[in-house]
Amino acid sequence: MCGDISGVAGTLIQSEAQVLDYSFKDFPANLGAYSKAALERVDKMIGFGCVSPTPDPQLLLDIKDRKRPWMDAVEFPEEIKKLILEGGRRFGLERLMILPDCGFREMKDYFEDDTGQRIAAQKLRNMVEAARRVREGLKIS
């Protein structure tokens, strides 16, 4: 689910879905939706969206007009790692499935070339690198 889940979190945790997939990068308030104990009680996993699929529209226009480099739209691995660790603190790292907030399709609308694809691919590479750093730091294979 993309967006703020505060109004529906109680209903969603009672659903039959085994994985509750939410945006946390663009909607950090979602970090307060559940406790680790609540997730353990119902045996749910969290699809932990930790990179934004929708950078600031002005930033994307500046990139399109070559006023800024495309890498300005990409989160660094350390920033992503910090968010993952916060999610782990709140929900338990063992309950997190690391993924983007939502799809990257909207970026396609800003660019006539492959810039949107390059941004999305680098975001995914950095997300994977951040997850690797979390595992290494905690000695998790």
Which CATH architecture describes the domain 9-138?
A: Alpha-Beta Barrel (3.20)
Token pair, residue 68, equals 């800024």
How far are the Cα atoms of 18, 33, 82, 125 from residue 38, in angstroms, in the given order? 13, 10, 23, 31
pTM summary value? 0.92
110 pLDDT tier (thresholds 50, 70, 90) = confident
Could you read off the pLDDT of 50-106 as tens digits, one per residue? 999 888 889 999 999 999 999 999 999 999 999 999 999 999 999 999 999 888 888
Helices (H) and strands (E) in the chain, counts: 6, 3
Amino acid 63: pLDDT: 95
Going by C-alpha positions, the residue among 115, 46, 21, 112 that lies closest to residue 74 is 115
- Domain boundaries defined on the chain: 9-138
* Residue at token pair 């889940």: 5
14 pLDDT tier (thresholds 50, 70, 90) = very high
